[in-house]
Each structure stands twice: as C-alpha cells, then as structure tokens.
Structure 1
Amino acid sequence: MFMSELTIQFGQLVRKYRKEKNMSQEQLALLCNIDRSYLGRIERGEVNPTLEKIYEIARALDIKSKDLLPNTI
C-alpha cells in the first residue's frame, strides 16, 4: 500500500501531540468519535483523514489544526 510522505508526517504529528498530552489512542479516538483502529491507521500514515477529522483531532488535542499539518514549504 502506497503511503504519501504527507500522510506519514501528519500521522507522526498526531502521535507526537497525543503522547505529549499523555493520551492513549483509545482516549483520543473517543474524543474524536472515531474507532481506535482508524486512529492507529492515521498515526501510521495508512489513511488520509478528511478535513473534518483533522479539525476534530486538533480540537480533541487542544491545538490548532495547522499544527498537525507538515511543514513542507
């Protein structure tokens, strides 16, 4: 399965902020109303989440959505 560098970097940022907040995948998934396995796939860069999910994840982590976007410029 092809994973783009952007989705991998996005997932790494989600994991970084989740761990900084001392949250489990289960806790974050519940706050975002998504399945824990789907959150794991996001963190591994296996799926490309919708813009709505990006905002929900950022809200649940109490960060700005732009903080989850890889700095590619």
Structure 2
Amino acid sequence: MPAKSEKRNPVAIAFGDVLRAARARVGVSQEALGLACGMDRTYVSLLERGERQPTLSTLFALSQQLGVAAEVLVARTGEALSK
C-alpha cells in the first residue's frame, strides 16, 4: 500500500503550502478564513494538507480574503513545484 503522501497530487501539496504561508502572513486561523470564504475550517485544512484541490471560485474567494491575487497564489505554487 503506497504511503499517504504518494497518493496526493504534487500540485495540491504545493498549493497547500502556499495557502498555509499566505494565511500565516495575514495572521488568520483556518476557521476564520473558512468562515470568511463561506467554507468549513476542515476544508481549509484539507486544502493546506494537499488532500483537496480548490475550484476556480474557491481560489478567488481565498485570494480575496487573504489579500493576495489569485494569479500570485498560482505563480507561487508553480515556483514551489520547480524547487
């Protein structure tokens, strides 16, 4: 049986890291971010752990609440993948 991390998509993992860093920069909890975006804290947690990938509308909602353009989150994800 493959390890749990092997099942997760590398893009989802990289986005999760970017999301966690952006959330930490603005100093909000997963719960506060989730509430502001109309989603549950557990969904934010799943995104940050790379276990789910956001829809385009979710990406824009997160970026708006974090004060970071969606394209910046995507670019940072691409940069994280290239490391």
Moved over 3 A (4+): none
Among 18, 23, 26, which residue is 1:13 paired with?
Answer: 18
Name the TM-score, length of structure 2 as normaliser.
0.82
Name the TM-score, length of structure 1 as normaliser.
0.92
Q: CA RMSD in A?
A: 1.3
What does residue 27 of structure 2 align with? 22
Rg (Cα) greater in structure:
2
Superposed, 1:1-73 pairs within 5 Å as 2-69=7-74, 70-71=77-78, 72=81
The number of equivalent residue pairs is 73
- Contiguous gaps of at least 5 residues in structure 1: none
Percent identity among equivalent residues? 32
Q: How far apart are residue 48 of structure 1 and its match?
A: 1.2
- Contiguous gaps of at least 5 residues in structure 2: none
